[in-house]
Amino acid sequence: MAMLPSNAGTVPKFVDRLPIPEVLQPIGLKDGEPLYRVRMRQVMQQLHRDFPPTTVWGYEGTYPGPTIVVRRYRPITVQYENELPDTHLFGVDTTIHGAEPFRPQVRTVVHLHDGDQPADADGHPDAWFTPGLRVTGPRFTTNNYRYPNRQRVTTMWYHDHAIGITRLNIYAGLAAFYLLEDEAEEQLGLPSGPFDIPLMFQDRTFTADGSLFYPAAFPGDFFGNINLVNGKVWPFLAVEPRRYRFRLLNAANMRFYNLQLDPPLPMTQIAGDGGFLNRPVPLRELLLAPAERAEVIIDFTGRQGTTFTMTNNARTTYPNGTTPDANTSLVMQFRVARPPSGVDQSRIPEDLPAGPFPRPSEVVKVRDLTLNRRQDHLGRNILLLGIRDLDGRPLPLTWGDSTTEKPLLDTVEIWRLINTTNDTHPIHLHLVRFLILDRQPFDVNRFMTTGELAFTGPAVSAADNEWCLKDTVRANPGEVTRIAVRFVHYPGEFVWHCHMLEHEDYEMMRRMEVQER
């Protein structure tokens, strides 16, 4: 008998195989460089063995979309086409900025997350376009994005970024991997081919008929009651008794994942958001905020016949919210059941090609940026980014306020993220990669009332597994998080924001204008 997907506790777990997204192939050449086409389509897809087919949105009609695999220094162009229906899958709350009634209900724009690309190819939130390009946003210039692919090799992803409805579009399915590779990486001897597997973690809620559920009224915070990996509900993966490389991506709207294996089995992290760590870091658990990525090696050698369950104990909201229940604490399974297909010749290098990192001698400016909470005109709590006023107190700002972050091209700045809220916020900067320096607790009440930034404890350096280039940083409550940011390659208007999508959609996003020197 089919189980009602609305009741997570009745859904059989670990009955579906983990799907691996297909690799997208170019359709031709544009100016001598590979040209890819990515169409956004509404389709029906089986997300669990016992569910009716679910209506989703997908790049090239699949959820998640196909993986784009490219070589460093080899530019490509991606032609994005919106072939979605004119009516959204979910109710669009027009009371929040960016989703007003005068805007079309279905709008999309694609952001290559962690991409090092010009502003006109960055997926600006106001560069949206409707199905058939009938209507375009105020910053739309083209739906053909040229990606130079000049940064360090890393695991990236592409996803929707339309202002005011990003949470809805990604929840509907518009997310996919983008992998940047080169010859030097191949010489490291890491697991490769079928032993190099991307894993996209998300949470969703379903109705009894198998449809995705999302509240029509803006919820502020929203968490699903079922975990999916690569678009499949609580899947399993049959693995060989050997080393595997897993590329982990938290693509959830708001949920943090603190991942462990049961029975305990160590993971070795080799890379983060923007590339390799300086050395491998063994871990028993791994915390990923929304948009964060990590590459880990898991060695199943000698474990034939064992089943490992990946679990999650991160609270919602993080770190002071509710503990996951018996359902949301489960993620997927690894079954060491397949016989070895050959000798495992992979290895974990002692040293990894991290960096280059910004240097203190390069710093030209220190900026204080605040994370704030207040009520809107309807009495709803909203989160805001801001600066310090003339008295040093936090000055919350909205998307519509004037741009205050105007770094100069080819310079390094230190940003101090001063979090006055009760939540950890994953702060993402477009265009750039940065180095996390440290986090330090401060007296929030004194700062709010007097503007004095009084520290209450010592600064704690970034964790060992954060010692890499990053594009998203966890800014913890009651702490000042310092990051060193190098602004290189492209001037223009970009954005920075919280990557909890419900926060991003409602004002926790600001413009950033990188200026020529």
Indicate whether 198 and 182 sit together in one domain.
no
Q: Which of 186, 214, 233 is the last residue of a domain?
A: 186
Per-residue burial over 209-242, b if 16 or more Cβ lie within 10 Å, else e, is ebbbbbeeebeeebbbbbbbbbbbbbbbbebbbb
> Can you tell me the mean pLDDT for 440-461?
98
Specify the residue for token string 């060193």. Answer: 484
Whether residue 345 lies inside any domain: the answer is no
Whether residue 1 lies inside any domain: the answer is no
Indicate whether 255 and 323 sit together in one domain.
yes
DSSP 157-199: EEEE--TTTHHHHHHHT-EEEEEEE-HHHHTT----GGGEEEE
Indicate whether 282 and 331 sit together in one domain.
yes
pLDDT digits (tens, 9 = 90+) for 390-405: 999 999 999 999 999 9
Per-residue pLDDT, 4? 60
Distance CA 109, CA 285 (A): 34
Q: Is 417 exposed, middle or buried (0-12, 13-18, 19+ CB in 10 A)?
A: buried
Q: Which of 142, 158, 186 is the last residue of a domain?
A: 186
Whether residue 400 lies inside any domain: the answer is yes
And the tokens for 94? 């027009």
Domain containing 387 — which CATH number?
Answer: 2.60.40.420
> Can you tell me the mean pLDDT for 180-191?
96
Share of the chain above pLDDT 90, in %: 96
Whether residue 367 lies inside any domain: the answer is yes
DSSP 67: B
Whether residue 352 lies inside any domain: the answer is no
Please, what is the end-to-end C-alpha distance for the chain in angstroms?
67
Indicate whether 130 and 269 sit together in one domain.
no
Query: Looking at 35-44, 347-356, 417-426, 467-476, which range is the least confident one?
Result: 347-356
Indicate whether 451 and 366 sit together in one domain.
yes
Indicate whether 177 and 321 sit together in one domain.
no
Distance CA 23, CA 15 (A): 25
Query: Looking at 197-206, 351-360, 389-398, which range is the least confident one?
Result: 351-360
Per-residue pLDDT, 360? 79
Q: What is the mean pLDDT of the chain?
A: 96
pLDDT digits (tens, 9 = 90+) for 37-80: 999 999 999 999 999 999 999 999 999 999 999 999 999 999 99
And the tokens for 402? 């004037």
Indicate whether 52 and 20 sit together in one domain.
yes
> Can you tell me the mean pLDDT for 31-35?
97
Per-residue pLDDT, 36? 98
Q: Which of 302, 336, 370 is the last residue of a domain?
A: 336
Indicate whether 132 and 244 sit together in one domain.
no
Per-residue pLDDT, 359? 86
> What band does 234 get if pLDDT is binned at 50, 70 and 90?
very high
**In Å, how far from its chain's centre is CA 461?**
23
- Please count the structural domains in the chain: 3
Indicate whether 370 and 230 sit together in one domain.
no
Distance CA 264, CA 96 (A): 44
Distance CA 460, CA 474 (A): 14
Per-residue pLDDT, 373? 94
Indicate whether 301 and 388 sit together in one domain.
no
Distance CA 403, CA 492 (A): 12
Distance CA 513, CA 492 (A): 6
Contacting residues for 241 by C-beta, under 8 A, at least 6 apart = 300, 301, 302, 303, 304, 336, 340
> Can you tell me the mean pLDDT for 363-383?
95
Domain ranges, residue 316? 193-336
> Can you tell me the mean pLDDT for 204-208?
95
Whether residue 263 lies inside any domain: the answer is yes
Distance CA 500, CA 254 (A): 5
Q: Is pLDDT of 3 > 80?
A: no
Per-residue pLDDT, 1? 35
Please give the single-letter amino acid code of residue 41.
R
| Whether the predicted model's global pTM rises above the 0.85 cut | yes
> Can you tell me the mean pLDDT for 501-506?
97
Please, how many CA atoms are within 13 Å of residue 115, restricted to the half-sphere of its CB? Answer: 29
Strands 76-82, 144-147: pairing kind: antiparallel
Whether residue 407 lies inside any domain: the answer is yes
Indicate whether 203 and 303 sit together in one domain.
yes
> Can you tell me the mean pLDDT for 198-212?
96
Paired with 461 in beta bridges are: 438
Per-residue pLDDT, 2? 45
The residue among 202, 129, 145 whose CA lies nearest residue 30 is: 145
Whether residue 210 lies inside any domain: the answer is yes
> What band does 361 get if pLDDT is binned at 50, 70 and 90?
confident
User: What is each CA distance from 430 to 116, 289, 465, 480, 508, in whole angstroms?
Assistant: 8, 17, 22, 21, 14
pLDDT digits (tens, 9 = 90+) for 269-328: 999 999 999 999 999 999 999 999 999 999 999 999 999 999 999 999 999 999 999 999
pLDDT digits (tens, 9 = 90+) for 100-127: 999 999 999 999 999 999 999 999 999 9
Classify 436 as helix, strand or coil.
strand
Indicate whether 316 and 444 sit together in one domain.
no
CB 443 within 8 A of CB 479: no
